[in-house]
Amino acid sequence: MSESGKKVVLESQELMQQVRTLHLVDLRHHEGPLRTSDIPRPQAPAHETLERVRAIIDEVRVGGDRALRSLTLRFDGVELGALTIDRPMMEEAYHTLEPRLAQALTVAHRRIQQVYEAELPTSARVASDGITVVRHNIAVASAGCYVPGGAARYPSTVLHTATVAKVAGVERVVVATPPQSDGSVDQATLAACFVAGVDALYPIGGAQAIAALAYGTETVVPVDTIVGPGNLYVALAKAQVALDTGIGSSFAGPSEVLVVADATVDPRYAAVDLAVQAEHGPHGLAWLVTWDEDYLLEVDAALHEYVASSSRLEAIRSTLIDNGFAALVSSREQAIELANLIAPEHLELLHRDGEQDSAYVRNAGVVFVGADATAAFGDYVAGPSHVLPTYGTARFASGLGLEDFLRRQHTVIIGPTAIDEIGWAVEEIANVEGLTAHGESIAIRRRS
């Protein structure tokens, strides 16, 4: 190793000893383009659970409601009462909610609605050669939104899925969510269903909920498409029903954040934002990316202090121990290069030039810009759905959107002049393909 190479390693080792909460990744002296092999990455979900999920789905297909009850007893420890909760109960929950909370849900709903109403696609029409082609955007008739439960409750996820479905024009929107330990569904989740216009809620979670939504039971009416985040069982179940049901475009797994910041930002802001997504629980991912060595140490120290006093200490620690990283890069350009490589669910550009740099982001679920741009805004009230691609799938997938509920369908109107204007081209191509009837279907219609 060269003298300068040795110096770099020594520098890195010294720095590493000072970092307490995050794992240091020193890229300052990296040469050439960054590759996946240059950075640590959480493993993709293991496939050993696949068989188990398959068995759960089969059990629901064969056993219907009875299977839903016994699986819920097995996995959630709950003896289910009614399998459906309808709108009057949602409305009641909404009216018993603490008014500030009810108002907050309404505000979030309004902002989500605004964002997606502005994005509604228009139909397109092209007329030439005697043929008119119209493209329609048609909403699926029914959609099922999976809302995680288990470790936490997510009324916000009701809003961030069902609202989008309703704006797209889906007639029947249902929610499935695991029951609480006493078999009920919490009031805020029910109230959010009321606000978002959800038609029915099934207190069922996990792979069994996905199977019920896809194939139906005596009580559950099957839906055309299923969206929403969830744990590994939910994700694998969605993958397995994908031949029979739409499953939405994004693989929304455990939360991820990548925070780009420098001394223009209070280190406590960057620190708390790393904790924001880490507190969702295990298997998440949190990256700090900076070009300032002193700043890196300040954020690390602030995070250390924050975690020690957090009420969600265990969740944050377990994410950070496995997947908490601090990258030291050589420049703003390299910071964005690294972000594009990681393709995080949430990308925060907190530093002063964040807006300028955002133009170079290719791979991220959503980009937040500005010193106050905590992803917590996005989780609740910013507007774009918080159901976002994780595990690096932001390279090809998008966050939940209208497209998840809309089909494109063309109507082709063949006018009276089309045979004469362009029929010859059909005959030529049919001829070379040896498909005689294709050509003749034009020839017998030729009137001149």
DSSP state, residue 220? P
Q: Is residue 283 within 8 Å of residue 253, measured between CB atoms?
A: yes
Q: Which range, of 32-40, 101-109, 200-208, 325-333, touches ligand NAD by CB under 6 A?
A: 200-208
**Binds 386: which of ligand NAD, Zn ion, none (CB < 5-8 Å by kind):** ligand NAD
Q: Which range, of 30-38, 251-259, 287-295, 414-422, touches ligand NAD by CB under 6 A?
A: 251-259
Active site residue 345: yes
Among 255, 323, 363, 374, binds ligand NAD (CB under 6 A): 255
**Greatest C-alpha distance within the chain:** 88
Among 22, 185, 211, 252, binds ligand NAD (CB under 6 A): 252
Residue with tokens 């048609």: 138
- When the beta carbons of 246 and 281 are compared against ligand NAD, the nearer one is 281
What is the Cα–Cα distance from 156 to 189, expressed in whole angstroms?
8
- Among residues 345, 348, 351, 386, the one annotated as catalytic is 345
Stretch 51-110 residues interacting with ligand NAD (CB under 6 A):
75-76
- When the beta carbons of 19 and 258 are compared against Zn ion, the nearer one is 258
Least CB distance from residue 29 to ligand NAD, whole Å?
A: 35
- When the beta carbons of 289 and 366 are compared against ligand NAD, the nearer one is 366
Please state at what angle helix 3-18 crosses helix 293-309, rounded to 10 degrees.
20
Active site residue 160: no
- When the beta carbons of 254 and 423 are compared against ligand NAD, the nearer one is 254
Stretch 361-400 residues interacting with ligand NAD (CB under 6 A):
386-388, 390
Q: What are phi and psi of 112, to 5 degrees?
A: -65, -45
Least CB distance from residue 280 to Zn ion, whole Å?
A: 5
What is the Cα–Cα distance from 271 to 309, expressed in whole angstroms?
13
- Which residue has the closest beta carbon to Zn ion? 379
Least CB distance from residue 238 to Zn ion, whole Å?
A: 21
Q: Which range, of 180-188, 238-246, 252-260, 326-334, touches ligand NAD by CB under 6 A?
A: 252-260
What is the Cα–Cα distance from 161 to 249, expressed in whole angstroms?
13
The residues of the shown chain that bind Zn ion, judged by CB under 5 A, are: 379
**Binds 378: which of ligand NAD, Zn ion, none (CB < 5-8 Å by kind):** none
What is the distance in angstroms between the CA of the first residue and the CA of the last residue of the chain?
84
Q: Is residue 273 within 8 Å of residue 348, measured between CB atoms?
A: yes
**Binds 351: which of ligand NAD, Zn ion, none (CB < 5-8 Å by kind):** none
Task: Tell me if 154 contacts ligand NAD by CB under 6 A.
Answer: yes
Residue with tokens 């099934």: 202
What is the Cα–Cα distance from 153 to 173, expressed in whole angstroms?
19
Q: Which of 369, 361, 371, 277 is nearest to 324 (CA)?
A: 277
Listed in sequence order, the DSSP H helices in 19-76 are 50-76
What is the Cα–Cα distance from 333 to 291, expressed in whole angstroms?
10
Stretch 261-320 residues interacting with ligand NAD (CB under 6 A):
280-281
Burial of 30 (0-12, 13-18, 19+ CB in 10 A): middle
- When the beta carbons of 384 and 439 are compared against ligand NAD, the nearer one is 384
Task: Tell me if 157 contacts ligand NAD by CB under 6 A.
Answer: yes
Total residues at interface with ligand NAD (CB under 6 A): 26
What is the Cα–Cα distance from 313 to 275, expressed in whole angstroms?
9
What is the Cα–Cα distance from 88 to 155, expressed in whole angstroms?
17
What is the Cα–Cα distance from 251 to 262, expressed in whole angstroms?
31
Element (H, E) at 104: helix 99-118
- Among residues 109, 160, 283, 346, the one annotated as catalytic is 346
Q: For ligand NAD, what does the binding mask look like between residues 3 and 42, x meaning CB under 6 A?
A: ----------------------------------------
Task: Tell me if 226 contacts ligand NAD by CB under 6 A.
Answer: no
Element (H, E) at 118: helix 99-118
Q: Is residue 290 within 8 Å of residue 22, measured between CB atoms?
A: no
Active-site residue list: 345-346
Interface residues with ligand NAD (CB under 6 A) are 75-76, 148-151, 154, 157, 178, 205-207, 229-231, 233-234, 252, 254-255, 280-281, 386-388, 390
